[in-house]
Amino acid sequence: MKIFVDADSCPAQARELVLRTAARTGIQAVFAANRPIPGIAGKNAVMELCPPGEGAADNRIVELAQKGDLALTRDIPLASRLVEKGIMALDDRGGVYTAENIKERLSLRNFTVALAENGMGIERTANYGKKELKMFADSLDRTLTRLMRINTN
């Protein structure tokens, strides 16, 4: 089992939590981005440097991830591709992407993008604090526990 992180958009606090989790559990964490991300080091941490270009890191994550792995991303189109492949996916606030909710999330995301493209964008919550990190940490622990049970059966 591996944890794949869409590292470009992942908050630093969430990346640090994944690094600690990887060191504690022995699960390899692969951080994919098309630029070096500071602080990606330590036991079981790998930086997958992707070529420049739109979607290169997303494509690499989809290419490498296998059933039984976990992916972390706030990119809903990437999450959709992963869910289609049978990969468990979380966002950095602890939300779980599933086959049951991904189409709705993707539709809402596309609607929001269309609004923004037409100059009617809505405000986004940019804060990432203790509350969001706690929700992510709890969801990460629950999901890893579930995956470990599934992978050992």
Rounded Cα–Cα distance for residues 74 and 150 (Å): 24
Q: Which residues contact 147 (CB under 8 A, 6 or more apart)?
A: 1, 68, 69, 70, 88
Model confidence band, residue 152 (pLDDT cutoffs 50, 70, 90): confident
pLDDT digits (tens, 9 = 90+) for 32-88: 999 999 999 888 999 999 999 889 999 999 999 999 999 999 998 999 999 999 999
pLDDT for the residue 124: 63
When the pLDDT of each residue in the chain is averaged and rounded to a whole number, the result is: 90
Q: How far apart are CA 48 and CA 31, in angstroms?
A: 6
pLDDT band of residue 114 (cuts 50, 70, 90) is confident
DSSP state of 54: T
Judged against a pLDDT cut of 90, whether residue 125 lies above it is answered with no
Is residue 29 a contact partner of residue 2, using CB atoms and an 8 Å limit? yes
Binned at pLDDT 50, 70 and 90, residue 110 comes out as: low
pTM score of the predicted model: 0.87
pLDDT over 90, % of the chain:
70
Ordered domains of the chain (ranges, CATH): 2-152 (3.40.50)
pLDDT at 102: 76
Of 65, 59, 58, 27, which Cα lies nearest the Cα of 43? 27
